[in-house]
Amino acid sequence: MIIRILLADDHKIVREGLNSLLGREPDMEVVAMADNGRTAVQLAGQLMPDIAVIDIAMPDMNGIEATRRISAENREVKVLSLSMHSARRFVVEALSAGAKGYLLKDCAFDDLVRAIRTVAGNETYLSPKVAGLIVKDYLKRSPESAPPAVSLLSSREREVLQLIAEGESTKEIAYTLGVSIKTAETHRQQIMKKLNLHSVAELTRYAIREGITPLD
């Protein structure tokens, strides 16, 4: 059986490199590539690939939000998160969003192939470094640990927060999301209230710190 793959990464050289390497695998075929999360969600719905390999840090809609949308709208599509971040919060966010695997970008290509085949086989794959971190953190974490503030935001509010942090105006956000300017402004106000932040600069710093938007 051929594993049909969607690649989503905002760096062209990474997309093209992975596309070339995966194309040499006899049981794999890259059916589409995307440079942001919003496009990845659209392509996943149109093409229904077996696996979507999605970078967490992407513009317009980050990989975690894209994973959440794909997992909710197209359950047959399994998501493998690809990231440079090994911190627990990124791993937990990705898995909570519906990812079936989490692979660090410093891995060998053979690890990516193994991860794709593992996830395609309905099993979970975690990079060894990530797996060890999660287990270690789980053992020492208290049940009363408070959830991160970002978990208070709805999926749409996280999407709006990323667009704000990337410099889009309320009018531009409304156009991107297909909503009224009033609705976009209401989302912004709710985000500020929930996070107890009071300016676009504060929202931007928060989004970068939490990995909601990439630094570049």
> What number of other Cβ atoms are within 10 A of residue 106's Cβ?
10
pLDDT score recorded for residue 142? 47
Tokens of residue 177, six digits: 């999301």
CATH 1.10.10.10 placement within the chain? 149-209
28-52 mean pLDDT = 97
Instruction: Give pLDDT tens digits for 168-202.
Output: 999 999 999 999 999 999 999 999 998 888 888 88
Q: Which fold has domain 3-140?
A: Rossmann fold (3.40.50)
If you search the block for the tokens 């989503």, which residue do you land on?
8
CATH level 2 (architecture), domain 149-209:
Orthogonal Bundle (1.10)
Q: What is the spatial distance between Cα 207 and Cα 173, in angstroms, rounded to a whole number?
A: 16
CATH 3.40.50.2300 placement within the chain? 3-140
Dihedral angle of Cα 114, 120, 122, 125, to the nearest 10 degrees: 30
74-99 mean pLDDT = 89
Q: What is the spatial distance between Cα 98 and Cα 92, in angstroms, rounded to a whole number?
A: 10
Q: What is the largest CA-CA distance in the chain?
A: 53
Phi and psi for 202 in degrees, rounded to 5?
A: -65, -40
Amino acid at 179: V
Amino acid at 115: A
